[in-house]
C-alpha cells in the first residue's frame, strides 16, 4: 500500500440544509492514518473476540442507556446536519436505542452453539466473529444506520470501522463517542473521515474481513465488486421504489394517513418510503384528492421548530436532483396534482408533489424518487397491481392495504421484495429482518438473521476415538 502522508482535502462538513450555511468542516485522514486505523481495529479484534459474549452484550446495553441520556442532543445534531424534522429525529433515537437494547438482551442466546444430530458422536455449529468489518453508512438516518450495523456485530465479537456520509460528520463523531463512553476500547469502534475513493483501499486491506453498505445501487455495485474481487463477505442495503398497494376503499381515511406517513417520514428520504401508490378504481379518485389535500397543507420552516411540518431536503444538490426528475415527468406529460416546483425561500426545499400519468418513458417511473414526491397509478385489479409493483428494478419493501387480509396476503406473496407489510407502511423493528433483493441489494440486517450475517458459521464435529473411519468425503 502507498505510504503517502499528504493530507488531501474533501467535502467533509456540516452544511445546514435549512440555511445552506457551512457550520463546521473536518480534515480527511491521511492514507497512513487510515492504514493505522485498520491495524488498530485488527489488534483490538484479537482481544475483543475473547471477551465473553455476555460482556460484549453488556457494552451494547450501556450504549443504549447513553443513547437515551443523550437523545435530545443527538436529535438536534441530526436535524442540524441533514434537515430532519425534530420529531423524526427523536423517533430515530428511540428506534436506535431499542435496537441496542434488543441485541444486548437477545444477542447472547442468538449466538449460542447450535447442536446437530450425528449417527455417532456430536456436532454443533458455532457462531464466531470474522474480524474487522467496514460499514459505509448514509446521511439519511445517521444514528439508526450505524446502530443497525454495529450493535449485532459488536455482540458477535467483530470490530467496527465506520465510513459515514461526508455531510453528517458531527453525528459520526457522536456515535464514536457513544461507544467509547460505553466502554469500547481503542479500535473496537472507529470513525473514519475518508473520501469515497478510499473505501476500496479499506476493503482491500487483508485485515478487513467484510463490508456492509447502505446507500445507492451505484455505490453498492462498487463495494460489492471490490469485496467480491477480494473474496470477502458483503451486505448491501440499497435503493428502493416501494409499492403501496390499495386494493379497496375500506377505511380509506386510515389508508391515506398511512400513505402520508409512508411517503413523508424523513421527507421521503428513506429507502423504504412508499414511493409508488398503486390504487384500484373504487378508491383511486378519493385517494388522490385526499392525499393531495394533505400534502398541500404541509408548512415549510425550521426543522428544529416543532410546529414545522415540511423540512428541507438534506442538501441543495438533493433538492435539485429530485426537481430534475419531476421536470422530466412534467415535460413528458405527467400531471402534478399538487406541487411540482421548488419553494421560493432559502434552504433546500421542494414543494410536496403528487404526480399522476407517469409512464415508462419517464425517469420517475424507473428511478428512485428520494424526497417528498408521490406517484399514484390506477390499476384495474389485483393482477395489474402485482405486475406494476414488480415492474421496478428494485425489490426492497412494499405495503398492501385491504379490509380482506387474505386477499392482501395473496398479493403480498407475489411481490418481488424482501419485505411486505399489510395494512401498515413499510417499517423497521429490531426483531424483524430488514433487506431486499434485485437492485435493492442482498443480505439482511436486524433480527437473529442480522447478527449472523458476518459470523463464521463454523462446524465442529466430534467422533468417538474408537469409531470406524468412513470414506465419505465430499
- Counting beta carbons within 10 angstroms of the beta carbon of residue 394, is it exposed (0 to 12), middle (13 to 18) or buried (19 or more)? buried
Helix (H) or strand (E) holding 278: strand 274-279
- The grid coordinates listed for 386 are 402485482
Q: From CA 137, how far away is CA 271, in angstroms rounded?
A: 13
- The grid coordinates listed for 61 are 446495553
Q: Which of 448, 445, 443, 398 is nearest to 423 (CA)?
A: 398
Q: From CA 188, how far away is CA 351, in angstroms rounded?
A: 43
8 Å CB contact between 277 and 379: no
Q: What Å distances lie between residue 415 and 226, 273, 359, 444, CA to CA?
A: 30, 16, 20, 18
Q: Which of 369, 339, 334 is nearest to 354 (CA)?
A: 339
Q: What Å distances lie between residue 96 and 194, 265, 352, 380, 429, CA to CA?
A: 24, 16, 28, 40, 10
Q: From CA 462, how far away is CA 471, in angstroms rounded?
A: 16
Q: Which residues pair with 133 in a beta bridge?
A: 160, 210
8 Å CB contact between 179 and 67: no
Q: Which residues pair with 246 in a beta bridge?
A: 279, 401
Catalytic machinery residues: 237, 271
Helix (H, G, I), strand (E, B) or coil at 238: coil
Strand pairing of 132-136 and 159-163?
parallel
Amino acid at each position: 500500500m502507498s505510504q503517502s502522508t499528504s493530507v488531501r482535502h474533501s467535502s467533509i462538513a456540516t452544511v445546514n440544509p435549512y440555511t445552506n450555511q457551512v457550520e463546521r468542516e473536518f480534515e480527511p485522514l491521511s492514507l497512513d492514518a487510515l492504514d493505522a486505523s485498520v491495524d488498530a481495529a485488527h489488534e483490538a479484534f484479537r482481544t475483543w473476540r475473547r471477551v465473553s459474549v455476555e460482556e460484549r452484550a453488556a457494552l451494547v446495553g450501556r450504549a443504549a442507556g447513553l443513547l437515551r441520556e443523550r437523545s435530545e442532543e443527538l436529535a438536534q445534531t441530526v436535524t442540524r446536519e441533514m434537515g430532519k424534522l425534530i420529531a423524526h429525529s427523536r423517533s430515530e433515537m428511540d428506534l436506535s436505542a431499542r435496537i441496542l437494547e434488543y441485541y444486548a438482551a437477545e444477542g447472547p442466546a442468538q449466538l449460542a452453539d447450535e447442536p446437530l444430530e450425528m449417527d455417532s458422536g456430536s456436532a454443533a455449529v458455532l457462531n464466531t466473529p470474522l474480524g474487522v468489518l467496514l460499514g459505509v453508512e448514509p446521511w439519511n438516518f445517521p444514528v439508526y444506520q450505524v446502530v443497525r450495523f454495529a450493535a449485532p456485530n459488536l455482540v458477535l465479537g467483530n470490530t467496527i470501522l465506520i465510513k459515514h456520509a461526508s455531510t453528517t460528520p458531527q453525528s459520526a463523531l457522536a456515535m464514536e463517542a457513544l461507544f467509547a463512553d460505553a466502554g469500547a476500547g481503542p479500535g473496537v469502534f472507529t470513525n473514519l473521515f475518508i473520501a469515497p475513493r478510499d473505501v476500496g483501499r479499506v476493503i482491500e486491506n487483508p485485515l478487513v474481513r467484510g463490508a456492509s453498505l447502505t446507500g445507492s445501487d451505484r455505490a453498492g455495485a462498487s463495494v460489492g465488486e471490490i469485496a467480491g474481487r477480494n473474496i470477502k463477505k458483503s451486505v448491501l442495503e440499497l435503493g428502493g421504489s416501494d409499492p403501496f398497494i390499495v386494493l379497496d376503499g375500506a377505511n380509506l381515511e386510515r389508508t391515506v394517513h398511512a400513505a402520508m406517513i409512508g411517503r413523508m417520514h424523513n421527507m421521503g428520504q428513506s429507502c423504504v418510503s412508499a414511493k409508488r401508490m398503486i390504487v384500484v378504481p373504487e378508491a383511486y379518485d378519493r385517494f388522490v384528492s385526499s392525499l393531495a389535500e394533505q400534502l398541500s397543507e404541509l408548512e415549510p420552516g425550521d426543522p428544529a421548530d416543532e410546529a414545522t411540518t415540511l423540512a428541507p431536503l438534506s442538501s441543495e444538490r438533493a433538492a435539485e436532483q429530485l426537481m430534475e426528475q419531476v421536470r422530466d415527468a412534467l415535460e413528458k406529460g405527467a400531471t402534478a396534482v399538487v406541487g411540482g416546483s421548488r419553494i421560493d425561500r432559502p434552504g433546500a426545499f421542494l414543494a410536496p408533489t403528487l404526480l399522476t400519468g407517469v409512464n415508462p418513458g419517464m425517469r420517475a417511473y424507473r428511478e428512485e424518487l428520494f424526497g417528498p414526491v408521490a406517484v399514484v397509478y390506477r390499476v384495474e385489479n389485483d393482477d395489474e397491481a402485482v405486475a406494476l409493483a414488480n415492474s421496478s428494478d428494485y425489490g426492497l419493501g412494499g405495503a398492501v392495504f385491504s379490509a380482506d387480509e387474505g386477499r392482501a396476503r395473496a398479493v403480498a406473496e407475489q411481490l418481488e421484495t424482501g419485505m411486505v407489510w399489510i395494512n401498515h407502511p413499510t417499517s423497521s423493528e429490531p426483531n424483524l429482518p430488514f433487506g431486499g433483493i434485485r437492485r435493492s441489494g442482498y443480505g439482511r440486517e436486524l433480527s437473529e438473521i442480522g447478527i449472523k450475517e458476518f459470523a463464521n458459521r463454523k462446524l465442529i464435529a466430534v467422533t468417538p476415538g474408537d469409531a470406524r473411519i468412513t470414506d465419505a468425503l465430499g
